[in-house]
């Protein structure tokens, strides 16, 4: 890994990111969604100005930060286990180590964390990272410190992230924060606050900077990217109160995508996550217009049953979802689509579950992220509904969903065999040192012999074989995008 990084421009950038003169060591790790990984890069940037460089070694760390996820109970249990590990290292090797909890669990549990987990010195919610310098001063003085205030404006648009564990090829750029959707099962609106969009100018500047550092692919991030709306700042829900000038010069998601694709025509763009209720035709048209916007949409649906969709407060029906899928495939026939699905939401019957399976049969998703329902404290579902589907039933339904997805994934990967596809090389293949691993436009992993190519190259690859998750091929030359 070290070696590849040395071979490309980002290797130098990574070294430069370690600020000269910094003497303190930060160990930072992230759990959960891509936004958390992206937020940790913002935190590392803020702390680089406070004398901290990152380390991969817990035993050396002056400060350990864990960026946490609350989406399901299991995610929280994983973080609790990590805290035990930090505790063991602190006791055996590193008594001066300070420990901070960031992200959604910090926001959800607040001071409770300091009471329950004696190892924790610092608790910081997702909108309060700019307060870290003050909070760390308190910690240095031997006190516990906490800031979990949610913001209506904070987008960290003015902070240039330090790229952590980067392959130097692909990066995340966040464009919105928070979520206003209030799906009844979901804790995110409570932990990440109201939805707000980031100034497009600062997004474009970050993208240009990434290009200059050698990056070739950017994924635009938000809980719900399709509802991106910039009109000079402010909450999404207050747009109606904006003046005529603000409305006339506003930028929606399709316009932002168009801007990105035109500003860096050789860079690939992806985005995540889309919400069916906010996905508009102009986004599909913009994708179809630009070759450098990848043909892949992560379009969570959660359930195929109209009754359950309603109980979940998802603002669309199964029929409207099919219409959206048809429109996507009409304009972009080879567009890959992936799902998130939840089994065993309260009151889900066998018939509802069959609706989920039949929806999957219609779409035949390329990939999927599938979960058993996990009741989250404070959500509407927890307050108003009984978690009444037995665990064994949830698990059995989940297994059926996973098996069907595996069948569809294989069906989709098989469609690529025999074609020549453009792949952006990211890293060594896990299975062999002699192969590169990258992704095609549809986000499927492609593995092929290295030849003289290197990470960051766009290569045309003839696909010869596949599994349900990976395409295997032979390189046939550089693509014209190089
Ligand atoms: N819009 C978000 C979705 C966040 S949560 C995004 O950017 O990804 C990711 C997925 O976790 C959801 O789509 C849903 O399928 C799953 N999920 C959320 N809350 C859940 C819960 N209480 N139980 C099980 N799965 C859940
Ligand atoms: Fe959660 Fe629904 Fe928003 S899944 S992140 S409340 S779109």
Nearest ligand to residue 180 Cα: 2
Q: In the prediction, which pLDDT does 280 show?
A: 95
Is 303 close to ligand 2, i.e. is its CB under 6 Å away?
no
Quick one: average pLDDT of 271-280?
96
Name the pTM for this structure.
0.94
Q: Is the pLDDT of residue 9 over 80?
A: no
- 403 and 464 belong to one structural domain: no
The CA 347 to ligand 1 mean position distance, Å, reads: 18
Atom of ligand 2 nearest to the CA of 182: 6
In a domain, 352, yes or no: yes
- 127 and 264 belong to one structural domain: no
- 51 and 119 belong to one structural domain: yes
Contact call for residues 373 and 185 (beta carbons, < 8 A): yes
The residue whose C-alpha atom lies closest to atom 11 belonging to ligand 1 is: 71
Q: In the prediction, which pLDDT does 8 show?
A: 31
Per-residue pLDDT tens digits for 117-133: 999 999 999 999 999 99
The CA 39 to ligand 2 mean position distance, Å, reads: 18
* 340 vs 322: CA distance, rounded Å: 16
In a domain, 331, yes or no: yes
Nearest ligand to residue 300 Cα: 1
The CA 140 to ligand 2 mean position distance, Å, reads: 37
Q: In the prediction, which pLDDT does 82 show?
A: 97
Tell me, what DSSP letter sits at residue 100? E
In a domain, 53, yes or no: yes
Domain end, chosen from 414, 434, 451, is at: 414
- 215 and 310 belong to one structural domain: yes
Per-residue pLDDT tens digits for 310-353: 999 999 999 999 999 999 999 999 999 999 999 999 999 999 99
- 87 and 26 belong to one structural domain: yes
Is 224 close to ligand 1, i.e. is its CB under 6 Å away?
yes
Q: How many angstroms separate the Cα of 250 from the Cα of each of 216, 229, 245, 284, 380?
A: 28, 7, 8, 19, 33
Q: In the prediction, which pLDDT does 431 show?
A: 82
Is 302 close to ligand 2, i.e. is its CB under 6 Å away?
no
- 299 and 321 belong to one structural domain: yes
Is 371 close to ligand 1, i.e. is its CB under 6 Å away?
yes
* 153 vs 130: CA distance, rounded Å: 13
Contact call for residues 481 and 459 (beta carbons, < 8 A): no
Is 253 close to ligand 1, i.e. is its CB under 6 Å away?
no
The CA 465 to ligand 1 mean position distance, Å, reads: 33
The residue whose C-alpha atom lies closest to atom 2 belonging to ligand 2 is: 183
Q: Is the pLDDT of residue 12 over 70?
A: no
Structural domains of the chain, count: 3
The CA 339 to ligand 2 mean position distance, Å, reads: 14
Q: Is the pLDDT of residue 20 over 90?
A: no
Is 181 close to ligand 2, i.e. is its CB under 6 Å away?
yes
Q: Count of CB atoms within 10 A of residue 81's CB?
A: 8
The CA 182 to ligand 2 mean position distance, Å, reads: 6
The CA 90 to ligand 2 mean position distance, Å, reads: 37
Per-residue pLDDT tens digits for 198-250: 999 999 999 999 999 999 999 999 999 999 999 998 887 888 899 999 988 99
The residue whose C-alpha atom lies closest to atom 1 belonging to ligand 1 is: 223
Is 275 close to ligand 2, i.e. is its CB under 6 Å away?
yes
**What proportions of the chain, in percent to the nearest 5, are helix, strand and coil?**
40, 20, 35
Domain end, chosen from 147, 181, 198, is at: 147
The CA 33 to ligand 1 mean position distance, Å, reads: 9
Q: Count of CB atoms within 10 A of residue 431's CB?
A: 11
Domain of residue 68, residue span: 2-147
Quick one: average pLDDT of 74-98?
96
Nearest ligand to residue 312 Cα: 2
In a domain, 155, yes or no: no
In a domain, 159, yes or no: no
Q: In the prediction, which pLDDT does 310 show?
A: 98
Q: CATH number for the domain including 182?
A: 3.80.30.20
Atom of ligand 2 nearest to the CA of 314: 2
- 404 and 429 belong to one structural domain: no
In a domain, 160, yes or no: no
Tell me, what DSSP letter sits at residue 152? S
Q: CATH number for the domain including 61?
A: 3.40.50.12160
Atom of ligand 2 nearest to the CA of 179: 3
Is 174 close to ligand 1, i.e. is its CB under 6 Å away?
no
Domain end, chosen from 374, 394, 414, is at: 414
pLDDT tier at 17 (50, 70, 90 boundaries)?
Answer: low
Contacts of 129 (CB under 8 A, 6+ apart): 39, 42, 43, 46, 102, 156
In a domain, 158, yes or no: no
Is 71 close to ligand 1, i.e. is its CB under 6 Å away?
yes
pLDDT tier at 11 (50, 70, 90 boundaries)?
Answer: very low
Is 179 close to ligand 2, i.e. is its CB under 6 Å away?
yes
The CA 409 to ligand 1 mean position distance, Å, reads: 21
Lookup: tokens for 263 = 């500003």
> Are β-strands 229-230 and 420-428 bridged in parallel, bridged antiparallel, or unpaired?
unpaired
Per-residue pLDDT tens digits for 353-405: 999 999 999 999 999 999 999 999 999 999 999 999 999 999 999 999 999 99
Percentage of the chain surpassing pLDDT 70? 96
Contact call for residues 460 and 478 (beta carbons, < 8 A): yes
Is 219 close to ligand 1, i.e. is its CB under 6 Å away?
no
* 306 vs 281: CA distance, rounded Å: 23
- 80 and 42 belong to one structural domain: yes
The CA 70 to ligand 1 mean position distance, Å, reads: 10
Tell me, what DSSP letter sits at residue 168? S
Query: For the ranges 5-19, 95-109, 125-139, which has the lowest average pLDDT?
Result: 5-19
The CA 71 to ligand 1 mean position distance, Å, reads: 6
Tell me, what DSSP letter sits at residue 238? G
- 196 and 258 belong to one structural domain: yes
- 114 and 8 belong to one structural domain: yes
Q: CATH number for the domain including 445?
A: 2.40.50.140
Lookup: tokens for 427 = 């890293």
Is 389 close to ligand 2, i.e. is its CB under 6 Å away?
no
Atom of ligand 1 nearest to the CA of 374: 23
Q: Pick 8 or 287 by higher pLDDT.
A: 287
Atom of ligand 2 nearest to the CA of 302: 4
Q: What is the mean pLDDT of the chain?
A: 94
- 15 and 34 belong to one structural domain: yes
In a domain, 205, yes or no: yes
- 429 and 297 belong to one structural domain: no
The CA 194 to ligand 2 mean position distance, Å, reads: 11
Quick one: average pLDDT of 260-272?
98
Q: Is the pLDDT of residue 6 over 80?
A: no
């Amino acid at each position: 890994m070290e070696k590849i990084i040395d071979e490309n421009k980002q290797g130098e950038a990574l070294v430069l990111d370690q600020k000269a003169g910094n003497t303190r060591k930060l160990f930072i790790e992230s759990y959960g969604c891509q936004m958390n990984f992206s937020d940790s890069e913002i935190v590392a940037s803020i702390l680089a100005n406070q004398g901290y460089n990152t380390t991969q070694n817990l035993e050396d760390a002056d400060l350990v930060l864990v960026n946490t996820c609350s989406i399901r109970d299991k995610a929280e249990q994983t973080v609790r286990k990590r805290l035990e590990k930090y505790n063991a290292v602190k006791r055996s090797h590193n008594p001066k180590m300070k420990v901070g909890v960031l992200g959604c669990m910090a926001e959800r549990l607040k001071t409770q964390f300091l009471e329950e987990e004696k190892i924790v010195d610092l608790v910081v919610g997702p909108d309060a990272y700019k307060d870290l310098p003050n909070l760390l001063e308190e910690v240095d003085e031997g006190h516990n410190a906490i800031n979990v205030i949610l913001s209506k404006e904070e987008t960290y648009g003015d902070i240039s992230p330090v790229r952590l564990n980067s392959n130097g090829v692909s990066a995340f750029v966040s464009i919105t924060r928070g979520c206003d959707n209030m799906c009844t099962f979901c804790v995110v609106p409570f932990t990440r606050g109201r939805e707000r969009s980031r100034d497009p100018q600062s997004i474009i500047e970050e993208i240009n900077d990434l290009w200059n550092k050698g990056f070739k692919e950017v994924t635009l991030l938000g809980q719900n990217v399709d509802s991106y709306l910039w009109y000079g700042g402010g909450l999404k829900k207050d747009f109606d109160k904006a003046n005529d000038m603000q409305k006339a010069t506003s930028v929606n998601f399709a316009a932002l995508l168009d801007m990105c694709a035109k500003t860096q025509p050789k860079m690939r763009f992806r985005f995540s996550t889309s919400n069916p209720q906010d996905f508009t035709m102009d986004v599909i048209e913009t994708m179809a217009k630009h070759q450098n916007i990848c043909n892949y949409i992560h379009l969570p649906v959660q359930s195929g049953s109209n009754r359950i969709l309603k109980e979940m407060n998802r603002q669309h029906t199964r029929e409207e979802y099919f219409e959206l899928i048809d429109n996507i495939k009409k304009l972009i026939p080879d567009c890959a689509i992936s799902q998130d699905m939840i089994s065993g939401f309260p009151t889900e019957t066998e018939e509802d579950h069959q609706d989920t399976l039949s929806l999957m049969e219609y779409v035949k998703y390329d990939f999927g992220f599938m979960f058993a329902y996990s009741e989250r404290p404070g959500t509407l579902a927890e307050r108003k509904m009984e978690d009444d589907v037995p665990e064994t039933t949830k698990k059995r339904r989940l297994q059926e969903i996973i098996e069907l997805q595996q069948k569809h994934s294989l069906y989709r990967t098989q469609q690529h065999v025999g074609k020549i596809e453009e792949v952006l090389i990211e890293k060594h293949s896990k299975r062999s040192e002699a192969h590169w691993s990258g992704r095609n436009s549809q986000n499927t992993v492609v593995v092929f012999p290295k030849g003289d190519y290197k990470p960051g190259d766009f290569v045309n690859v003839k696909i010869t074989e596949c599994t349900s998750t990976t395409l295997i091929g032979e390189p046939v030359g550089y693509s014209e995008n190089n």
